[in-house]
């Protein structure tokens, strides 16, 4: 089974029904949640973060760090194939927007000011993701990601 078979973007009506207003604004309209006032900026448990729309696995807590920005930040995605980037000029200066590959959800931005080993800071919106702790990975259908935490 390919990733495209496993993860799908629901139709617009289903997306509106499944997301709260902030989640919809962030993922579908390229919004940004408030720093420090979001679900995962201070999340410390082990697990993975998945796209709230499609369930695509995006980031691992093993690559999460405190960037001091108030948003969850990561050094790298779980799988480069499950994210897309594009140039965003919303703030007049170019930034690199990060989107999920299948659902095309706006996730946040990536900046070249992160720590080793990548030097990148994937600054993500909690509203675009769902956190799955390691003890729930198997039950949620993500058992293959348990090896990230061995």
Give the CA radius of gyration of the chain: 15
Q: Which of the 8 DSSP states describes residue 68?
A: S
> SS3 string of 87-118?
EECCCCCCEEEEEECCCCCEEEEEECCCCCCC
What is the C-alpha to C-alpha distance for residues 71 and 149, in angstroms, rounded to an integer? Answer: 23
Catalytic hit among 78, 123, 124, 137: 123
Is residue 123 annotated as part of the catalytic site, yes or no?
Answer: yes
Pick the closest to residue 58 from 43, 73, 42 (CA basis): 73
Instruction: Show which residues are catalytic.
Output: 123
């Amino acid at each position: 089974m390919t990733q495209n078979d496993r993860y799908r973007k629901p139709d617009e009506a289903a997306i509106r029904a499944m997301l709260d207003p902030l989640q919809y604004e962030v993922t579908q309209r390229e919004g940004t949640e408030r720093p420090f006032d979001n679900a995962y900026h201070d999340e410390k448990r082990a697990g993975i973060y998945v796209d709230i729309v499609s369930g695509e696995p995006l980031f691992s807590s093993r690559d999460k760090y405190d960037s001091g920005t108030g948003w969850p930040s990561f050094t790298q995605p779980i799988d480069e194939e499950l994210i897309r980037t594009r140039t965003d000029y919303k703030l007049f200066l170019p930034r690199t927007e990060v989107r999920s590959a299948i659902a095309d959800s706006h996730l946040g931005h990536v900046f070249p000011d992160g720590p080793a080993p990548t030097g990148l800071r994937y600054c993500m919106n909690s509203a675009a993701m769902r956190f799955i702790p390691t003890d729930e990975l198997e039950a949620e259908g993500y058992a293959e990601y348990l090896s990230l935490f061995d």
